[in-house]
Amino acid sequence: MSTVAVVGSLNIDLVIRAPHCPHKGETVIGGAFGMAGGGKGSNQALAAARLSAKSHIIGCVGSDDFGRKIKSALTENGVDCSHLQTRKEAPTGTAVITVTDEGENSIVISQGANSLLDDGAMTGAMNVFESSDAALFQMESPPKTVAAGLRLSRQHGCMTFLSAEPPFSLPNEVWKNIDYLILNERALGFYASHKQHKSISEMAHEILKRGVRCLAVTQSAKGGMIFVNGGEDFSFDAFSIRAVDNTGARDAFCAGFCVALCEGMPLKRAAKFASACGALACTKMGAHPSMPWRHQVSALLGEAHGDDYEL
């Protein structure tokens, strides 16, 4: 069994289905309302556990009902919460999410306690990094903490993963501490310094030159591309599914990619595994509820690739 340390955000998601996302100044009459566990860190930790990794979350919630709700959901799913801080200074993070009838979303976050995750929490989690195969980060925690966490987890022998969403400027020293960087096209454009007239491949290789070992660019229904420092680039397909809600799909992809590589799957198979995880996460409303289980991923890969596809 592989062990994954996830450093990141925990939110309660307040979700409303609507015919379209509101434009400036517009009020939209929506449909069903739902509340679910979310936050990129908590989604990835939950997904890693459901994909049968030993999963740890390192993050902060407030001392409130939302915080208790997320903590118990993670614990019930087997996520180790011994490095989840409960803080009195700020409420639990909240996300307000609009999901359209096509399954697309737009998200506004109130970071709350997530902004209290500091370097001290990274030092305090050293024993977790020491015993983990990989450490997985996103950008809903303070960038300084992410930088410190990447450095420390790398020093303690973890493979490091950064899902750099939402994109924020990062200190230069960070790039060389990233083994696997996962970006969507928007984030790729943000991080590449010379964007004009550059192809995805040119922007990706520019980022690899900063010291990143491997870059995955996700492209939703188009699948994605993998760029390897000094290796062969390749693309991977998306699975064809009926999207109900794509909230958390990239989190499921990241957790799947990380777990697959920790288990020693070759890169191409890991990308396919991750793509299946992302597809399954689009088939249900809500982030936590849609994080896929290992048997569902195996079934999707088995159906799509025939019996000779071994996991």
Residue 70 beta carbon to ligand RIB: minimum distance, rounded to whole angstroms: 10
Report the distance separating Cα 50 and Cα 46, nearest Å: 6
Residue 157 beta carbon to ligand RIB: minimum distance, rounded to whole angstroms: 28
Residues linked to residue 96 through DSSP beta bridges, in sequence order? 14, 108
Order of strands, sheet of 214-218, starting from the edge strand that comes earlier in the sequence: 80-87, 54-62, 3-7, 134-138, 159-163, 180-184, 214-218, 224-228, 234-236
Residues linked to residue 85 through DSSP beta bridges, in sequence order? 60
Q: Which is nearer to ligand RIB, 149 or 248 (CB)?
A: 248
Report the distance separating Cα 102 and Cα 105, nearest Å: 9
Residue 33 beta carbon to ligand RIB: minimum distance, rounded to whole angstroms: 15
Q: Which is nearer to ligand RIB, 2 or 98 (CB)?
A: 98
Report the distance separating Cα 72 and Cα 23, nearest Å: 36
Question: Which has the closest alpha carbon to 103: 270, 252, 279, 229?
Answer: 279
Other CB atoms within a 10 A radius of the CB of residue 207 amount to: 22
Residue 86 beta carbon to ligand RIB: minimum distance, rounded to whole angstroms: 18
Q: Which is nearer to ligand RIB, 38 or 103 (CB)?
A: 38
Q: Which is nearer to ligand RIB, 132 or 218 (CB)?
A: 218
Residue 205 beta carbon to ligand RIB: minimum distance, rounded to whole angstroms: 27
**Can you state the percent helix, strand and coil of the chain, rounding each to 5?**
40, 25, 35
Q: Which residues bind ligand RIB (CB under 6 A)?
A: 9, 11, 13, 38-40, 43, 95, 107, 109, 140, 247-248, 251, 287
Q: Which is nearer to ligand RIB, 107 or 311 (CB)?
A: 107
